[in-house]
Amino acid sequence: MWRYLPGVRRLSSPTTTASSKRSLSSSILQDSCPLENSRNFVPSRKDNYSWLEYDSSSGKMFCTLCRKHKKKNAFSTSGSTKFRRSALTDHSKSLEHTDAVCATHKSKQAFPIFASAIESADKAILTLLKAVYFIAKEDIAILKYLELLNLLESCSSPNLPRELYRNRDACHKFITLIGESIESELGDEMRDSPYLGFMVNESTDQSIRKNLLLYVNRAGDVNSYFAHIDELNQCDAPAVTEANIRYLEVQKH
């Protein structure tokens, strides 16, 4: 038992109250987690939130997924200045953000399917163009277009369409487009050549229309091209000359 001397005050023993414990605990948490209450952007947050984007000029955070899918929230439109981790967590759990995440995953899964479909369609068109070019080049009647496609299909030619473009009208349009493309390339070569030679010949088709066939030789490597066929009202020299000049005027542009 301690005995106290007269005139000497007793030293109070240190005591810890509940409030002081809470204050101490809060102080420890603040010291150990200074970033949680930070008023500035923490770059390391991007490691946990891959969608997070920070605009240093405005000092605001954005969600790349919500902006891509045009969601109407602060992280998508005006930007957020709530740098607490809890604000990022709340946004990641929001309905609009989860919808944006789902939409992104769906688009990534669908892209290979779309790419494969586009590739197949391109191959189908290429096969049709080759068939149409063969018909035009070999002077085969357009009536044989469907039979040619059936032949290719029986030979296991890949990527032939079932219905689309399998008609005579489509064949005629393809021939027209191919002809315009070839004529355009020929015009470019003619404009690049300093000299040209022409050979013309008259022809009459089954409807007794008089036509003028025009062949061109360009300087440099000797190349001969069927250039144009033009309907004539008369077959005299002035009419032939006028047709040639008219064709050359068109090729200037």
**Three-state secondary structure of the chain:** CCCCCCCCCCCCCCCCCHHHHHHHHHHHHHHHCCCCCCCCCCHHHHHCCCCEEEECCCCEEEEHHHHHCCCCCCCCCCCECCCCHHHHHHHHCCHHHHHHHHHHHHHHHHHHHHHHHHHHHHHHHHHHHHHHHHHHHCCCCHHHHHHHHHHHHHCCCCCCCCCCCCCHHHHHHHHHHHHHHHHHHHHHHHHHCCCEEEEEEEEECCCCCEEEEEEEEECCCCEEEEEEEEEECCCCHHHHHHHHHHHHHHHCC
Q: Spell out the per-residue pLDDT of the chain, length 253, in tens.
A: 455 555 545 555 455 455 555 554 444 444 444 444 457 888 888 888 888 888 888 888 999 888 888 888 888 888 888 888 888 888 888 888 888 887 776 655 545 544 555 566 677 777 888 888 899 888 899 999 888 888 888 877 766 766 667 888 888 888 888 888 878 887 787 777 777 777 777 666 555 566 655 566 666 666 677 777 777 777 778 888 888 788 777 777 6
pTM of the model: 0.42
